[in-house]
Amino acid sequence: MDIIIIITLALASLAAFYLWRSGVKRANADAAVAAELAAIEVRASGKEIEPPWIKYPDHLPDDPYWKEQGKRWMRMVWEPYWESLDTQSQDHYLRRWGVPAEWQLQYFDPEMREWLASFDDPAEAN
């Protein structure tokens, strides 16, 4: 297992170097590497991450909290974990944690996510 982590860390470093050389801002490259390292750590630990509606029950998905303080946690912890799951595991996860309707609509409905993304600030993507 250790060799897999070492190889993955090396690949993440190469990816960061490539992003840096291709003109991507250093902060974005650092964030990409940090997100990948967080995902590696989560996968290596084998632990399940609490969903945002359990960890932060006072913040609905449209709460400004997710564009401010909660954004880092979502991008660096929960989203890498979620994306590491296959479709069957994602379905099981949602059933296990009982996803509320507002999260189901705004976060897990593909058409709604696409529509909401159309309002994102393009400067955030860089």
- Give Cβ neighbours of residue 115 (< 8 Å, ≥ 6 apart): none
Query: Which two three-digit tokens encode residue 97?
Result: 């944690």
Q: Does the global pTM surpass 0.75?
A: no
Q: How far apart are the first and last CA of the chain?
A: 34
Stretch 106-115: mean pLDDT: 73
Query: Which two three-digit tokens encode residue 121?
Result: 């600030």
Q: Which pLDDT belongs to residue 24?
A: 52
The model's confidence at residue 20, banded by pLDDT at 50, 70 and 90, is low
The model's confidence at residue 126, banded by pLDDT at 50, 70 and 90, is very low
At residue 99, does pLDDT exceed 70?
A: yes
- pLDDT, tens digit (0-9, with 9 covering 90-100), for 55-93: 899 999 889 998 888 888 888 888 888 888 888 998 898
Q: Which pLDDT belongs to residue 11?
A: 63
Three-state secondary-structure class, residue 64: helix
Mean pLDDT of the chain, nearest integer: 75
- Give Cβ neighbours of residue 58 (< 8 Å, ≥ 6 apart): none
Query: Which two three-digit tokens encode residue 10?
Result: 């090396």
